[in-house]
Amino acid sequence: MEGFSLPKAPEWVHAETWTREQQEQELTRRFMLTAVTLEADFQFTARQSDIILNVSLKCGTTWLSYVCHLIRMGGSQPDFHSLEEVVPLFDVCSVLGMDPNTVTQPAHPRLFATHAPYDRVPRGSKVIACFRDPKDMFLSLFVFFDSLLMLKGRVELSVFAKNKGIFGILKRMLDLLVIWWEHRHDKGVLILFYEDLKEDHDASVRRIAQFMGAHLTDEEIGRVVHATTHAEMYRHREKFDLHEFTGKLVEMMKEVSSDELVGRVRKNGGKVGEGEKRLTEEVKQSIEREWQDTVTAKLGFRDFNEMRQALKKELSDKLAQNEN
């Protein structure tokens, strides 16, 4: 980020509403800084015992990080100010002045999270990759960026969806999905879908615990499941919000006030199927075309649900084989 400066804010930036041209201009201006900040380079030496959570933006990073943290803690909930203290997110370490190599973690194994593309994920440790229906992911991204970029509802969904940089986040998620799907049978790799964590929370926690090498009792599993429900995490939502990161972002933006909360656990968030209901037909068609060009072309799956069902069948067949 050294040497990077945000273009000067236009005079109209504090207006209550923006024209479409102003929306496009200011969304690009603010996204430029955030993109550079979130993609800051990090230097990290992985240990074989480490577990890295490679999750695209708005595909369950916070949820999965907390699930894994509580699994290694046996379901107990030690106090912490911010989730990044116990599960460092590589992408914000630089701006927060954190060195992931030296952060003291409360238990074994060490956990780290990142939104990075496949070729930037540190090698030599276990990886859990989690993905989400691209329509739900994109809707969540729209809501989250409205807060993170302090847009205050002044940028329409149609403008947001046509921003090349932002739509590129969806493209990178699908690229990552294709690569990890091809590596899903590799030793030390676990692929998850957000929707499966929602549909069968208990079974998903058990599967993650087994992958982590954690031997938890049914009571401990129950504590992890309860603590990681949306309702329970919302009750402690201040521990999952990006206050410090947002503060740093505000300092860089200078003219933008910091009176809004960037919530990663929202009151009505974390739902499945909202993208299909709330996105416009134009936006949904753009997402479907990107899926066909990226996923269908390489793996043959016509849509996300077909891919999800294929993974379910693989797991069911493997379980049946093990029982025999």
* The pLDDT of residue 80: 85
How high is the mean pLDDT of the chain?
89
Tokens found for residue 100? 């992931």
Confidence of residue 57 (pLDDT cuts 50, 70, 90): very high
**Structure confidence by residue, pLDDT tens digits, 8-53:** 778 888 899 999 999 999 999 888 877 766 655 567 899 999 999 9
**Structure confidence by residue, pLDDT tens digits, 126-165:** 999 999 999 999 999 999 898 888 888 999 999 999 999 9
304 — phi, psi (to 5°)? -65, -40
Cis preceding-peptide flag for 134 (omega within 30 of 0)? no
SS3 label, residue 114: strand
Contact 235, 263 (CB under 8 A): no
Tokens found for residue 183? 């590596």
Give Cβ neighbours of residue 113 (< 8 Å, ≥ 6 apart): 52, 53, 54, 55, 61, 64, 65, 87, 88, 89, 90
* The pLDDT of residue 201: 97
| Amino acid symbol at 29 | R
Confidence of residue 321 (pLDDT cuts 50, 70, 90): confident
Contact 137, 58 (CB under 8 A): yes
Given a cut of 60, is residue 4 above it in pLDDT? no
**Structure confidence by residue, pLDDT tens digits, 86-119:** 999 998 888 788 899 999 999 999 999 999 999 9
Measured CA to CA, the distance from residue 81 to residue 85 in angstroms comes to: 7
Edge to edge, what strands does the sheet with 126-131 contain? 111-114, 51-55, 126-131, 189-193
Confidence of residue 254 (pLDDT cuts 50, 70, 90): low
* The pLDDT of residue 253: 61
Please name every residue paired with 89 in a beta bridge, in sequence order, or none if there are none. Answer: 113
Percent of the chain with pLDDT over 90: 68
Q: Give the Å distances, CA to CA, from 255 to 8, 9, 38, 66, 261.
A: 9, 7, 20, 34, 17
Mean pLDDT value of segment 183-212: 97
Q: Write down the pTM of the prediction.
A: 0.92
* The pLDDT of residue 275: 96
Please name every residue paired with 173 in a beta bridge, in sequence order, or none if there are none. Answer: none
Confidence of residue 297 (pLDDT cuts 50, 70, 90): very high
| Amino acid symbol at 123 | R
Measured CA to CA, the distance from residue 38 to residue 92 in angstroms comes to: 6
Given a cut of 60, is residue 3 above it in pLDDT? no
| pLDDT greater at residue 260 or residue 148 | 148
* The pLDDT of residue 1: 46
Contact 247, 258 (CB under 8 A): yes
Mean pLDDT value of segment 49-71: 97
Contact 141, 59 (CB under 8 A): no
